A = this chain, B = another copy of it.
Amino acid sequence: MQQFEITSEFIANVKNFVDEGDNASISKLLGELHHADIAEILDELNFEQSIYIIRLLDSDITSEIIAELDEDVREKVLRSLSSKEIAEEIDELETDDAADIIAELPEAQKEEVIAQLEDVEKAKDIVDLLRYNEDTAGGLMRKELIAVRDSWTVLHCVKEMRKQAEAFEKVHTIYVVNDDGILKGRLSLKSLLTTSTKTPISEIFNPKITSVKVEEDDEEVAKIMQKYDLIVVPVIDEMGRLMGQITIDDVVDVIREEADKDYQLAAGITQDVEASDSIFELTKARLPWLFLGLIGGVGAFLIMEGFKDFFKNYAVLFFFTPLIAAMAGNVGVQSSAIIVQGLANNDVKGSINNRLIKEMLLATLNGIILALFLFAFVWGYEGDPSKAFAISVSLVAVIIVAGLVGTFIPLFLNKRGIDPAIATGPFITTSNDIFGILIYFWIAKMILGI
């Protein structure tokens, strides 16, 4: 099977069949598709059409579809299903997806749904999982895994594994625990297939295994899995007991969300919003940063007001304030972004001082190159080398200060345990606008001897 391309023609067909109630054709069209594809198709339909299809298809596939839907669509879908129907869907899911969905339900309904789950063992696991904060290893893990005891023989082990054959298609690691459930290591398929059946597991298992604690932060789990190239990692509790496992596909979502969040912060968007969110939600995410920009602009106004006596003879100075502000902002964003990204990727080494010295050299180099062009332009346009000199020298100073501020603030926030990503974007451009314009007028004043 190649991946499937959803065309608008295909969507139109599905819609038609739903409107006509042609169940046979719907089943034929969707029957062979991957649940991720069906979820994408449902995102394109209206709500009644989606519900119609969910009620029509088997719960082994609809459960996967529901787990895959956008959170806001899922909320609506779940609201239109009874607790019994939801429990049937959840019975088909793995524990991590099941717990995520139950966590989204209203408090009152949670208990109702859990009470109606058929598989009592799974219900216990789900209730366990609900205890963990969603941003921790416990919140990411699922309970399904294959564990064998170090006291067993290979033969016993294979028999146990055959019993649990249902779970097999997704086995990535066979964990070895002792009789108290404490994680001891892992068993490779190789040893299992190539050792005599009487060998005790304790003699052939591999004790080298990287695990994470159940309370570990999800971003830390992501870093560990990336660093050690792990497909799956076991989760243990404070006693070292094996509690569950996390597979890399769940961590990929964490990595993407983290990158998305940093990107949004850099663009001046707080809160996790998407292009499809409501205008009200988007305003809530965007307005605070714009307000910050407004305050910065008022600050710039007050500074320029303070220098208004220059106006008569040096109006040209005022015409360059947007340029100064833009350069201060751009340099600040560049230097802070490099630091923020370096911190995220563990790539920022050495002392803050070294980093600041490097940024100063860099800003000086860039500033002088840019100032030469500006000098030539102003001299040529205004015919006044002293004004051109004052403006250009100020530009270099502004760029250096902007670079230092952009480097220092994220490093400082990081030392203080604050997410440095908030320091990129509007925060840095606004403060650099004000600093930049102030420095610009001071230096120009000194040079021109006003």
Which A residues form the contact surface with B (CB < 8 A)? Answer: 1-3, 34, 36, 43-44, 158, 161-162, 165-166, 168-169, 171-172, 188-190, 193-194, 207-212, 224, 226-231, 247-249, 251-252, 255-256, 259-260, 262-264, 266-269, 273-276, 279, 282-283, 286-287, 289-291, 293-294, 296-298, 300-301, 304-305, 308, 311, 315, 318-327, 329-331, 333-334, 336-339, 341-342, 345, 347-349, 355, 358, 361-362, 365-366, 369-370, 373-374, 377, 399, 424-426, 429-430, 433, 437
Shortest distance in angstroms between A21's beta carbon and chain B's nearest beta carbon? 26
**Residues A260 and B341 in contact, CB atoms below 8 Å apart:** yes
Contact B231 A429 (CB under 8 A): no
The answer to whether B172 and A172 touch across the interface, beta carbons within 8 angstroms, is yes
Interface of A, helix, strand, loop or mixed by DSSP? helix
A231–B231 contact, CB under 8 A? yes
Chain B contacts for A228, CB-based, 8 A: 3, 34, 36
Nearest CB of chain B from residue A288's CB, rounded to whole Å: 11
User: Is the CB–CB distance between A366 and B327 below 8 Å?
Assistant: no
A144 to B382, CA, bound (A): 69
- Please tell me if the beta carbons of B208 and A190 are within 8 angstroms of each other in the complex: no
Within 8 Å by CB of A276, from B208, B301, B347, B429, lies B347
Complex: how many Å from CA A300 to CA B293? 19
Integer count of this chain's copies in the complex? 2
Contact residues in B for A255 (Cβ distance below 8 Å): 252, 255-256, 259
- Which listed residue, B3, B283, B286, B304, touches A319 by the CB 8 Å rule? B304
| 11 further A-B pairs in the complex, CB-CB below 8 A; given A274-B345, A287-B369 | A3-B224, A36-B229, A168-B189, A169-B188, A248-B252, A256-B345, A260-B341, A276-B347, A282-B362, A293-B327, A333-B425
Let me know if B294 and A327 touch, CB within 8 A. Answer: yes
Cα separation A227 to B68 with both chains bound (whole Å) = 9
> Which 7 pairs, one residue from A and one from B, show the smallest C-beta to C-beta distance?
A297-B323, A267-B337, A259-B259, A275-B342, A168-B190, A300-B322, A304-B319
